[in-house]
Amino acid sequence: MQRRTFIAALPAAALLPAMAQAQTGTRGTPGAQGAQGPGQGGAPQPATAAEAPLPPVWEAGQDRFIRPDVHAGDRPVGASFASRTAAYGLNGAAGTAHPLATQAGIDILKRGGSAVDAAIAINACLGFLEPTSSGIGGDAYAMIWDPKLKKVVGLAGSGKSPRGLSLETVRARAKNGALPALGALSVSVPGAVDAWWTMHQRYGRLPWAELFQPAIGHAEAGAPVPDIIAYYIRRSLAAFRRPGNGLEEVANALRTYGLADGKGPALGQVFRNSDLARTYRAIAAGGRDAFYQGDLARTVDRYFKRIGGWLRYEDLAAHRSEWIEPNRTDYRGTTVHALGANTQGLATLQMLNILERFDLKGAGFQSALSIHLQAEAKRLAYEDRARYYADPHFAKQPVEWLISKDYAAERAKLIRPDRILTPVYPGQAPSRGDTTYFSCADKDGLMVSMIQSNFRGMGSGLVADGLGFMFQDRGQLFSLKDGHPNIYAPGKRPFQTIIPGFATRGGDPWMSFGVMGGDMQPQGQTQIIVNRVDYGLEIQSAGDSPRWHHEGSSQSMGEDSPGLGATGLLRLESGVPLATRQRLAEIGWTIGDPDGGFGRYECVEHRMDGPTRVYAAASEMRADGCALAY
């Protein structure tokens, strides 16, 4: 019989001391709830409680209702903060940010499709179901476990800036020394459709056209909009309607996403997009050429000419995705893979290399020391990110040096356990945002880790006439500083925040995973690896565990983060122990309230039970999605 506790009619002040005291116990920690570290007897205990607990932040009547000191749970086994058990199956698995997209992927797998077929169907569905984070107006990256090659292969589906847009024009039209978030100036070639096609040519099993049928059906029939997606659509449309925002035209976006009142769907309201369904039908019938060289490309060309933009038919026709070799590092026996190219993937590897120099398990799960060390590793890695990461076709990157163990050892020496490092500078090389992530796997062992995005706030705000999708604003991440490796140039790929994750053990696949959310992505990926490797959490609780998020590092545009001071802002999610918050403040961190920007995680794990392959799939509570396996 399970015990139940009922507390009624007590003021919040009366509950706080008891809540603080509860933080001193073992309940709610991985070790107390039965999670085992690799070869260990359980996770370390959290820090003791603070004498003066942090008061709750009440936002009743607003978008959120927050109690920083409380994280609900009470599961009888495992970590109490885990929202559910991972989904297990023998034949295939998928985790996405929308249940209907997950179901579409599973249906494709059951019909004999490969994991790549499922990934394409999922991404097409998400372009309709989750337009706040994805769509064919954006770019895509993937890491794929190839069971025949027994290795991870990478695909970069990143589009270039328009060839007819010069640096001089960009500088003349820039706002406050940077490319604007909205409007045609920040639009680059969408790479997603060609990425799908390139993957399908190598790994697809089902006919190309079949992969679009689930998305077409949903777009025509409509689908009720879940909570988080409704919130972000309405917030984005409000920004698009704001006077003086730089948008060349807004009518198409409001007509496509705004419904009758132009404000966007509310929770549970049915949303349809017949324009996108027609666009998908054209791509299904004509392949990638329909998008990049056919009537769709000509429509895009006419639209940008009409509004005074720069993207042209020739830019689309010249686009091609690239197969690339992922970079990797070893972290305590786990090989973590990351894409380089023009992404921030190297930051995850740099952070892990630095953290390997410290005993995080001994520091304690959710302790101030553990979070302090991770956040300092982030600050060091992100200064290098701002200094060196760019399109390798335009700027030579010192990749081997950046992810070397020797360099990590040098950087680790800068970190002090009892105080925050300030200021933080990039290392000296030797001479010479909105996103969706999804993961799926098939019965033959093919696994896909894929991420796709229109970038910030749904994208540029621009929707070509009758096409039903928004163009990305990824060009906003170009620098305008002379000499910076990421400086804008025509026909150049901008710095990208989107990064899929993959981890192997002993030469075999282990995890296909990702954490959506702009600058949060390397921070989130690092926390997932630390939670699994150092603290022994299984894949669901590793994602549900309370997170930290540091803001304030130098940016890829060559600028500091404005208004956040020398050390930036360390946001701590609800559920981080009160004593941890207090100690981090004592060390010198400026602690910020939770803001919903802690990323959104999906994962598929591969394991062998004797001769039998077993998949586990996880989808966390911070998104509207789900994970399924069969």
Q: Tell me which residue range forms the domain holding 494.
A: 93-325+430-629
Bridging pattern class, strands 591-592 and 569-572: parallel
Which residues sit opposite 551 in a β-bridge? Answer: 569
Residues shown for the chain: 630
**Residue 160 forms part of a structural domain:** yes
- Verify cis geometry, omega within 30 degrees of 0, for the bond prior to 423: yes
**Residue 297 forms part of a structural domain:** yes
**Residue 65 forms part of a structural domain:** no
Rounded Cα distance, 348 and 535, in Å: 18
List b or e across 416-450, with b for residues whose CB sees 16 or more CB atoms inside 10 angstroms. eeeebbeebebbeeeeebbbbbbbbbbbebbbbbb
Low-confidence ranges of the chain (pLDDT < 70): 1-74, 423, 425-434, 555-565
**Residue 597 forms part of a structural domain:** yes
Q: What are 103-129's pLDDT values in tens digits?
A: 999 999 999 999 999 999 999 999 999
pLDDT score at 563:
54
List b or e across 287-317, with b for residues whose CB sees 16 or more CB atoms inside 10 angstroms. bbebbbbbebbebbbebbeebebbbbbebbe
**Residue 541 forms part of a structural domain:** yes
- Residue-by-residue DSSP string for 251-265: HHHHHHHSTTTTS-P
Bridging pattern class, strands 151-157 and 322-324: antiparallel
**Residue 228 forms part of a structural domain:** yes
pLDDT score at 116:
99
CB 69 within 8 A of CB 16: yes
Sheet holding 139-146, edge to edge: 322-324, 151-157, 139-146, 447-453, 435-441, 93-96, 626-629
**Residue 188 forms part of a structural domain:** yes
Rounded Cα distance, 74 and 502, in Å: 31
Rounded Cα distance, 312 and 300, in Å: 7
CB atoms near residue 550 (< 10 Å): 24
CB 309 within 8 A of CB 184: yes
Q: Rounded to 10 degrees, what is the CA torsion of 576, 544, 215, 501?
A: 90
Please give the tally of structural domains in the chain.
1
Q: What is the CATH number of the domain that holds 588?
A: 3.60.20.40
Q: What are 175-222's pLDDT values in tens digits?
A: 888 899 899 999 999 999 999 999 999 999 999 999 999 999 999 999
**Residue 408 forms part of a structural domain:** no
| Tokens matching residue 567 | 């050390």
Q: What are 479-510's pLDDT values in tens digits?
A: 999 988 899 999 999 988 889 999 999 999 99
Q: How far is CA 253 from CA 131, 162, 314, 454, in A?
A: 11, 22, 24, 14
